[in-house]
Structure formats: structure tokens, C-alpha cells
Structure 1
């Protein structure tokens, strides 16, 4: 059960056997059914979530009831609401399972303790958070681009996940309507594209 997360960590830092054991002992293992919430708007986020299996979605619901997808989380990806965790405030986001999911959770306070006890772990989290920040910066610019460029970028980066996501969720992530997404997909499939 811990092999995927330890392999992910090993891409960035080296933990000895004792450090791996201490870290794994701090993790909670949970299964979530499709459509089950890991976090709901208004709750204070307590955990960072590492996806072992399945697909998660983080989104907010606007005042007019529109869902705005911020990110997806697939196998070996982390997902949380860092703002809620760091400020001890209610989350504006929902995180739910788009597929049956298996997740490892770590509580923020425990993670802070482990940073002191296992310095390479802090380096690992710093590296993945910097990557996430970089991706967020790219996404901000990307949302300023025309819809066809957004879809082309999404498709070039995440084509292998597209069959696991509904058209509505992809459209929401891209900031476009489902109809626009359908048009863009059909244009892409035309000969010569």
C-alpha cells in the first residue's frame, strides 16, 4: 500500500528505512466511493491527500451554482486546500471522488512534526509544492488564452486522462461550455489538424 508514495518520494529525496517507517505510520489509508466528498465547502481542511487509485476533483461552486474545477488529482498526485490548512479557515472548495478512490492522508500538524524529525521530507514537500505553484502560474496564463489554445494545451498534457473525465468536468476546468468543448474536439478530429 505504501510503495507508490515511497516511490514518489524517492524521485525527489532519499529516506532511510527508519524514516520511511515513521512517515508511513503517520499516514491514514481511506477508500472513497465515486461522488463521495473528501472535503466540503465550509469545512476546515485538515489533510493533504495522496491518490493511490482513482480520480479526485477540487472545485468551487459560484453563487449562481456553476461548478468551477480548479484541479484534478490522479494516481500519485497530491491534492488539498492549502489556504484552509495554513490559515485554519473554512474551505471554499469541495474535493470529491470522480471514481472509486483509494487515498493516503496526512494531517497537517503531524506533517509539520515530521518536517522537524525527517528533514528530507520537508525538502520533498517543498519541491512538489514548487512544482504545483509553477503549474498554477501556467494555469493562470493559460486561462487568458483563447479556448482552442486551452483545449490544445490540456489535450497535449493530459490526453491520457481525458477518457476518465466527463465532458462537463473538462469544460469547467478549461473555463468553457460543454458545447464549446464539443466544437473544439470535432475541429481537432478533422483531417489536416
Structure 2
């Protein structure tokens, strides 16, 4: 993997373990020569990961819609900044620029990005790995909810299993590198892809 889109919070939260792991993630991305693709902010967990990559000489691509483009939000030292018209366009560019997706702690925006990219995978619109970094149990409830969806018949087990999960950065990156995509659903009209 040459690049990973990291979906995460524009707030730092209040858990020092999460903050420390966000910093360590940036350092590990540089060690593994992986470009960070993210939402372009200098604030919150987003800024912590970006700063760690930039401070170690790594490459960072920020993608942000014009309406969020203020000096207080956009990181001033990005390797590349791409501005879009809409939030959806932002996700499409992040998809195009990355070889996989990692979800680390965040709020509604992070959940929106996770569920949209997971749905695209379920529909066969992409075959890139999606990983959840479950730092300090942050995503325990989300993982349990997904299991409930499977148990109640609203989510196929194979689609749930296509999301890789780990509590350790190195373990998650390895699982993402080893990821074997699901076959394109038979009911999907391939001409539409």
C-alpha cells in the first residue's frame, strides 16, 4: 500500500491514549512509506496524525470542501491540498487517492465516511481494504452493532468480515496489506462500474 485515507475526528477528544496512538500512527505511516490522505485539518485527531507524518518527513494529501476552507482549519504545511465543491466530492477524491481506508476515533463525520466507504465495498464499487483501529475500546460498541446487524439478518457475515479490525496499528496495517477482496456481487450490473 502506497497511500491510506485516514478517517478521524476534527476534535481531539479527551482520551490521551487515543491522542498518543494518533501521533504514533503518523510516525508508523512514514516508517512504512505510506502517504496519508485525510481531511486537510490542522485541528483535532486529524491534525495530530498529519503533524506526525509531516514532522517525520512524510507525504500528506489533504482534501477539503471549499466551505470548510478557513485558515483556522486547513493545515498550512500539506504536501498537497485539494479543494472540492462538496463533502461527497471530498470522499470521492480521498477514495481515488488511496489504496485503503483506516477508521480511527472520530464523531459523526468519521461514521459517515466509514459507512459510505463500507457500503461502496458491499456493493462491489471498490475492492480496497477498510480497517478499524479500535484504540482503547473506542469502537467496541460499533463492532457489536455490526454483529447485531448480522444476527438480525440486515448484514451478510461476509460483508462484516470484509472490515478488518485490530487494536494495534502494526497489526491493522498488516491485515490491510493481506486483505483479499470479496467477489463483485452477481446481481450487480458490471457495465455500471
What TM-score comes out, normalization by structure 2 length? Answer: 0.30
Q: Which has the larger radius of gyration?
A: 1
What TM-score comes out, normalization by structure 1 length? Answer: 0.30
